[in-house]
Structures are given as C-alpha cells and as structure tokens.
Structure 1
C-alpha cells in the first residue's frame, strides 16, 4: 500500500477500523469481536475492544480527519452511565478496564472537542467519576502507572477532581524504573521487550506533548531518554520492514513501531523524518502482507497468522487493536516534514552491536536481523516465557517457535535451543532463564540449568556465516541433547531437508539453515515441528544435531549454525 501522504495513512486507518462498524453494540459502548477466553470478564473484553481503536482515532481527529465521532461519544455516554444496560461497571483491584482508560484519557487530553464537549453536564460527571476510579484501587507496579498518570492529567486539564498525590506517585515510580542509556525496566520485571518502546517511552512522550507547560523539566527528560533509546531500538528493524519477533505481546503486531510515531509526535527530530517514514511505511506494509485478518477484515490474535498457541493469557479478541498506537503520526499537522519527506532506507548500522541494557547482542547478516539474548526473564509469566525470551537466537526472517507441549521434540519445537531428553523419559528440557550471564561486544555467555542435576555454560559467537555455539555440560543423568537451528518454512517452493553425518539442513527458496556439530555421538537430525508452533509460518522443520551425554562426565559441544536468506 502506498504510504506517502497523510491521506494515505488515513486510508490505512479506515481499512483497519471500518470492518468494526457493524459490530458495535446498539449503545455503542461494547464491541464483541470473538469468543476466545481471557483472564477478565466479557464486559472488560468488550470495553477493551471499544477503547483501543481510539489510539488511532484521536490522532485522526487531532490531525483534522473525521470518522467514528458519533459512535464514540455515544459509547462514552452509555458506558459510563450506571443506569444504562451497557454500563462498564465498577472496578476491582488490577482491573483490565484501567488499561483501557488510557486511550479515553488521551482523547480527552488532545481532542476534548470530540469526546468531552458534546456531553451534557450529567454525562461529563459520569465519565469523570468513572475515570477517577483508577485512583481508588490497586494497580500493578509497572507500565500501568502511566494509565493512572494519563487519567489524572486528563481530569486535571478538564477541571475535574483528580488525584495530585496519585499523579506524583505514579511519575515517581516511572522514574524508579529508569536504568540508564535510554532504557527502562517495566516495573519489577527484568525482561526487556517491546513494552519499553510502546509503553514506557510511548506514554512518556505523550505526557511530554500534553504537559510541556505544567511539567517542563520532566517532559525534557522523557524526550532526552527517547533520543538515546532510539539509537538502540533502530537495530530491532529489518530493511524489509519487519521488526524482531521477541518477547511477549506480539499479538499487538504493528504496535512494534509505535515508538517512532510517538518520537515524531513529541517533536523529536534527531533522526530525520524521512528515515522514520521509511521505518513506518515499510513496517506497516510488511504487516499488510501477512495473514492477520479474518474473513471480515477484523484483526486476529496471533503474529503473522491467526494463532492462539503463542498468545498470552491476557490476549482477548480486541487486544490486537493496541497496534493502532502506531498511527499516532496522524496527529501531526499537515505541514509537518513527515508528510512531505520521502521514505528513506535505514541508516548504516553496525553489523554487530551489544545492547547492554537490553541484555542482548545484535547482528545484521545478509538481510537478516538476529538477536542473541542472554536469557534474562522471569521464572513465571503470562505464557511461553522461555520460548519468547530464552532461546539462543531470534530472527526477523526465521521467527521463533513456541511449544505445544513439553513432551516429545516435535511438540516442543525447540528451535534455537539446546534441548535435553533424559533417557527413559519423553520430557524436553531447554533453557528457561539464565542463572548468570555476560553480554560482550563479540559474544554472549550464560550459565543455566534445564533440569536439576544438569548444568550448562553456553557461549554464542556471531560469525560471518551465522553463529557458533559452545556448550560445556555437566550432567547427573544419561541423556541426549539436541542443538537446534532456526525453524524453516515447509510446504513452499524449493523445499528440501537432509540429515547426513554430523550435519542437518533445511531450506526453501527464501531461507536456509544448516547445523553442524562436533561432540560425542554427533548426528544430524531434522525435527518436524507441530503445526502453528512458529510465529511466522504455520508449518516448519528444524535442523538439529543430537549428542550423547554421559552421566558424570564434563562434555564440550560445538555447533555451527549457518543461516542465509534471500
């Protein structure tokens, strides 16, 4: 799709949101998009689906566009009226509806003439009281603090009762999450993923755009940190428009690029508008080429195709519309340089770069972007945590796989992992998290244990052909270890697979991955992954090398992983 002018971007937004119009409830406060389960009740699911399109609609209105105004004024009127059958209700601690308040608050901050002024006094009072509820309950100590911040900013600007105490405490907590070099933690989490870009920085830049007069010092600080972060985050983007599939909440899809729209919206220009336009236009078009819509044009849960296996427990049918945050650029004025700039390619980037605060080493090789993370993550999380954070490598062209089960290799689909199967057992054990790690300029070293009684130290070294893995293993069990390469798409042109001697390879017309091993009992092996385990394609195979591990011995393995894309 041509994405050059403001009108082009508006047409994209309409393409994404127009299919929702017949699905709003009679009172416009609910939006039912599907029947899959999630950790919160139906009223929250439908309120979430109602709210998230506002992340694009508010910029549309701010930038002079029209559409959906009557739906959203009516929805706000009825959803916050305790006497209406579509009332969104009161709250519990940690309520999902607090998340969705942020989009409404953004609309009240930047386009009050669309969402606030058309309301009668009683309706304004209902809305303000409903929003104030976020101040009366417990919210998580993480990016959710920004939802409370934005709500109180909106209430303050509208002259309604707000909590100055909660506003200040929320901002203080956000400040405590900053770890330097442009990076935040997401609350107490050690994981560095897209939440740093589309949550911590995004909302900080929204705050900067809204509160420049009231809180200039903090606004400047948010902007300066975003400038630094941009220099690292640009490494997560491929020349073809794809961004790195890594971490949780990938169902938000093109939300991966939301930071770049917020960067422009906050008035930052260290990176030229043409470069950012190139990132956004290529990224959005990459997503339009994927199979992310159902037959009615509604976004699905999944990544590059509908896929509930890889989803988190908090992914409801309306959740993917958080990706609409990337269209914040629609709020730029007509004369902004972004609209007249030509989409430029990425600037020259280092072939290898250590992102120390992100605990990963990045490599750009032959058109592919590969991240080698240290395996830093929580022991427990929202679903498939080891697969989303602890594999040895993540690629924009090969993606990664999530386990269908921990039983049998083909169900586990352990691409980019060293998978252990203890003799006499069918369970598969991989790196869940690292006990110790070090990210250097040319390698990543981690110590980990897939199972009590098995300890591993792994060194990953990027090479011109891909990467080298060195494993030092001590085991109290006889077992087999499978060192697995990238997943490669099956059922496509020129597909081939082979396993001979100490090597295995899988390839097609666009990809190739070969693994070659050196160690006791090294033998090539191809794992036929279960369908829908890889996030990029529904059918894949994984080249691997199997090794024999003897109880009580210290074993050293070396596996070359050669990968190429066309």
Structure 2
C-alpha cells in the first residue's frame, strides 16, 4: 500500500465540527505516544534528533506537553484512560532516587517551561493527577515544583510559567512566597505595546507568542487565580482588543499566518480563540470566534504533519527540520494541544452552542500598527505586509521575521544554502550579492515607520550599503519600492510568492524583461518590475523542502545588476488561486507610484512602529 501522509495525521477523517469531535481529537493525538512512554512513565522519547537542552529535559517535554489537551478534556468531564501512567510518571520524574528522574533544576532551564503544564494540571484536574498520589509522592512532587518556582525564568513569556506553577501549588495546598509571582506578573504587563499587543520580552518583534503565550496564559490566570481582579480586568480587556487585530492573521480557510519562530507548534496558533472562550471573553460574537477556532483545526486535519505512526513531526506543513529551532525536540510539537483549552467548558457554554460564522469580508487593507503590518484579504488568502522585525539569534531569522510580505496560503521559504546565490529563493524578499556567491537580505533595521496602510523601513545589508523600502497594498497586488545607495556594484534577486509545484513538470511559466509568471496547477504567482530600467524575469523552482507548507514550489523572480550610486527598484507581486480571476489581475498591474510624494507622506505622517521602537 502506498503511504498516504495525510492519513497518518491523527486528525484525518474527523469532521471537527462539535465538542465531541474535539474530545476525540485529543485522544487520537495522544494514543500514538503510548509506545514511547518509559516503563516508569516519566520519559517520552519520540525521536533521535536533539535540542539545545539535554535528553532528560526533552523526555520531560514529551511527557508534559500532551497535558495541555488532556487536562481540559478531563476538567470538562471527558474520559482519559491513562491517568495512572501520568501519576506514576510525575512521581518518578520528580524523584532524585528514581532512574527516570527528570534532572536537577536550574535557572533559565527548559524544565521550567514544561513544569508549567504540571502546574496547570494540578490546578484544573487535581483529582486525577494529585489526590490519588501517596503522601510521600506528594511531598516529592511539591518539593520539585517549589524548587522550580524559586529559580530565574527568562525575561519573556517564560515568566508566566512560574505563575502557572504557583497556581498549581496553591490549588493543592502547598505553601510558598507569593511575592515573586506578583513581581513577575507586573514585569509581564510591562511588555504591553498598546492596542492589545505585547512584546515577548525586551525585544524588537512580535509573533505568535503574543496570542498563544502572552494572551493564552494571561486568560488562564483570569479564570484560575484568586483575587487580583484589577489585573484580570486588564488581561481580559487587552485580549478583547487584540482579537480585532489577530483575526487578520487567519485566512478564510482556517490557515494561520506563518510568521516568526516556533511554527512547529502548529495549531497552538489557534489556541487564542479557545482561551477567549475559556475566560468568557466575547471579544467578537461567539459564532465568529468559534468559526476562527474550528476552521483552524480543520485546516491542519488534512496536512501531512505526522510520521507514519501518527506522532507529530518537527516541521510545519510536513516533516521538515530545516525550519526548526535549536530548542525544538521531537516532543516540542505537542504544544499544539494548547488548542483544546475550551474542552474544559460545559457543552452548554455559548461558545459550543453557537453556530460557526464565516470570516467577515474585509475589502480594504487593515493596518496593524503595533506590529508594523498591513493585512490584505485576497481570495483564499491573507497577505500581510511587514515593516520588518528582528531576531538575530536563530537559524532562519531573516526569513521568519524580516521578509516584506507573509501569507496564510503560501507561507515562506527558508534559504537552504547561503553560498549559492543563483539558487536562492528570496520569496517576499530582496537579496543582494557582491561576489555572486554569498548574499544578504533584510535582517536588522535602523528604522521602521507606518503611515495609514503604508510601511517604511531603512536597513543595511552591509555597513556601507543603505536601503530604504516602502511597502504599499494594491489588492491583490502589493508594491515594493527600494532606494539603494551602494559604493560598489551588486547583483540583486527579488522574489514573489512561492506556490505548489506539480509532478511531471505539469506547470507552465513565462519569463522575460521585467516579468515572470508561474501558472501552477492550483495557483498563479506573478512578479513585475515597475522600475524605469526593468530587471529580467526568472521562473525558478526552489530547492525542495524549503517552503513551510509545500515540499516543492515554484517561484517567480526578478534578477538584475545594480551599479554604484543610487538606484530605485519598484516591484509589484501577487498570487491567486486558479479558481479566481487571476487573468484580469495579471492584465491590470498597479501603476508605479511617485516616490517624492511617498517620502513627503512619511515625513509628515510616519509613526515609528511600536514593536520596533524599543531602545536596545
């Protein structure tokens, strides 16, 4: 029988329409893990790949992360048949005398992350994981958790992990000093950017950690913490405001915007909608919230995201280590189970009784000012222009944070070889080379501004080369203007959207002066040069396994040479599904805008992007 990767997905075939369907999904996702539990229940090792932390911490990750789905299932009255395994594992993993001990705790250690799930379990389901333990096992577990909460957590969303550990200890009657918890909550609130957005620490970036971490844990706090009512009100109000923005990171088909790090957590991105329900925050009508929530999981249910045995793989749309982070172990993807938080709610809750509503129409571009983004809803897709953010300490950071444009339908490519300029993708990006071999692209920024629905950034690929970039929506197109000042000649490649490639070379392309188009079996992608001296169109097929959603892609590019001095490049790019009227769009590209008028607009009305404004 031919291997069908979609059928290996434990969600495959589940209609995912009802609360019962989601309860079944939790069990279906968990059961493939059972053969990989250690004899003592404390270690779950799902693969041979490594992470920056030790194997014991990775095994704890495999043990703890499924609890994010199991605990709400049980709290809402659902049946989970393996609590004895989790109780045994918890007792053994925290016992220094047991062979399966998880290891000693330390400041800023991965174990602190995973123990948050244990704290969550003690808070919401103590009758299953705590109360049946012997008195001696309770003392062992409590001592381990108390040690954890007294250590230093990284200055970002990690500080919520101490909060969650504390909630668990408080729920089961273990005494501790609450002062550190309150200090961390104050420090977390200091990351507020306004408009419902946070930073994830003292950094110049926002990403999915804002919905699936900062808001997610804050909303859990509003339900499970005692007192602290003023802070709870602030958490709820920020989430209510944020919902009106973050819905523009979701396509009408349920796909989320692939942007930033930790994409291997997959449907955790939709956990924010479930957290609103858990906290009783009707930020949008319940029917609309439920629509965003359910469509998202259905989108994932047909993707080849699991290995042959049904274990979730490291990757995004398919198994792919190229896009992973150094902190991704084989157990990391199971943070996706944070999605199932609303299973803790009774079936009569208005979230569950509401009929799903479709995504509203958004005919005009939507500015997401705190993030320095502009969203355009195109057929079957949301295109998000980005002024650029930065993360300089991870592989693929340029691609994950600094491209000019991101998309729910087409995702983005990770460069596979930074010493092969001719084979570079540079989708949604301008790449430059001074030797024809190595290349650079936008990384860190000197400035990022937003004016209405238009964006500006200034960046330096080399110390002596300055580029100013303006981004303008022109639905379904978008326009990029680059003013380049360089003391030497450079080669340039600029890419459009990467679309799926068919087998047997069944796709068709055209390329020529100032234009390249791929006519794929599912989508059409085009890039056009609006500059006075057009570059050459090039229809390329990027290195396989570089795109997050599709293993093989097609990409239109513009290629050319830039002489010393000042050069202006103007680019228009778009992609549409085949079922849409792409021919009309292709025949009517946008006109070249006036640069002087654009400069004047930003001088008068440009506002610094809040996500970028932090002084480092």
Corresponding residue of 1:192: 206
Indicate yes or no: 2:416 matched with 1:404: yes
Match of 1:133 among 134, 147, 158: 147
Q: 1:170 aligns with which of 157, 179, 184?
A: 184
Deviations 1:216-245 (A, max 9, x none): 221111111110011101111100110101
Q: Which residue of 2 aligns with 1:241?
A: 254
> Equivalent residue for 1:105?
119
Which digits, 9 at most, give the CA deviation of each residue in 1:249-290, with x for residues without a partner? 000000110001110000112322222221122111110111
| 1:328 counterpart residue number | 341
Partner of 1:474: 485
Number of the residue aligned with 1:382: 394
Q: Is the 8 A contact 1:494 1:507 kept in 2?
A: no
Find the residue that maps to 2:484 and give its secondary structure.
strand
- Give 2:227's match in structure 1, choosing from 199, 214, 217: 214
Q: What is the aligned partner in structure 2 of residue 419 from structure 1?
A: 431
User: In the alignment, which residue of structure 2 is the partner of 1:505?
Assistant: 517
Secondary structure class of the residue paired with 1:81: coil
Cα separation, 1, equivalents of 2:196 and 2:490: 44
Instruction: Judge conservation of contact 1:149–1:166 (CA < 8 Å) in 2.
Output: no
State the partner residue of 1:85: 99
Residue number among 50, 57, 82 corresponding to 2:70 in the alignment: 57
**Structure 2: gaps (5+ residues):** 1-13, 580-616
In structure 1, what is the Cα distance between the partners aligned to 2:493 and 2:220?
47
- Give the aligned CA root-mean-square deviation in angstroms: 1.5
Q: Distance in 2 between matches of 1:214 and 1:159?
A: 16
Deviations 1:379-398 (A, max 9, x none): x2232111001111101111
Q: Which runs of 5+ in 1 are unaligned?
A: none
Question: 1:563 — aligned with what?
Answer: 575
Q: 1:374 to 1:257 in 2, by over 3 A?
A: same
After superposing the two structures, state which structure 1 stretch, 409-418 or 427-436, moved more: 409-418
> In structure 2, what is the equivalent of residue 279 of structure 1?
292
User: Do 2:276 and 2:283's aligned partners in 1 also have CA atoms closer than 8 Å?
Assistant: no
Render the CA deviation track for 1:106-127: whole Å, top value 9, x for unaligned. 1111111111101111111111
Cα deviation 1:483-513 (Å, max 9, x = unaligned)? 2111122125851122112211112132111
Cα separation, 2, equivalents of 1:408 and 1:507: 26
Between the aligned partners of 1:8 and 1:182, the Cα distance in structure 2 is 31
Partner Cα separation in structure 2 for residue 411 and residue 124 of structure 1: 58
Asked if the contact 1:525/1:543 (under 8 Å) is kept, the reply is: yes
In the superposition, the TM-score normalised over structure 2's length comes to 0.89
Number of the residue aligned with 2:584: none
Other structure's SS at 2:431 match: strand
CA deviation profile, 1:408-460 (whole Å, cap 9, x unmatched): 235532111111121x3411111112211212223111111112222111111
Aligned twin of 2:87: 73
Q: Counterpart in 1 of 2:458?
A: 447
The Cα offsets for residues 510-565 of structure 1, whole Å up to 9 and x where unpaired, read as: 211111112446211123311111111111232111222111x2111111213212
- Shift in CA distance, 465/112, structure 1 to aligned 2, threshold 3 Å: closer
Q: 1:46 aligns with which of 46, 50, 59?
A: 59
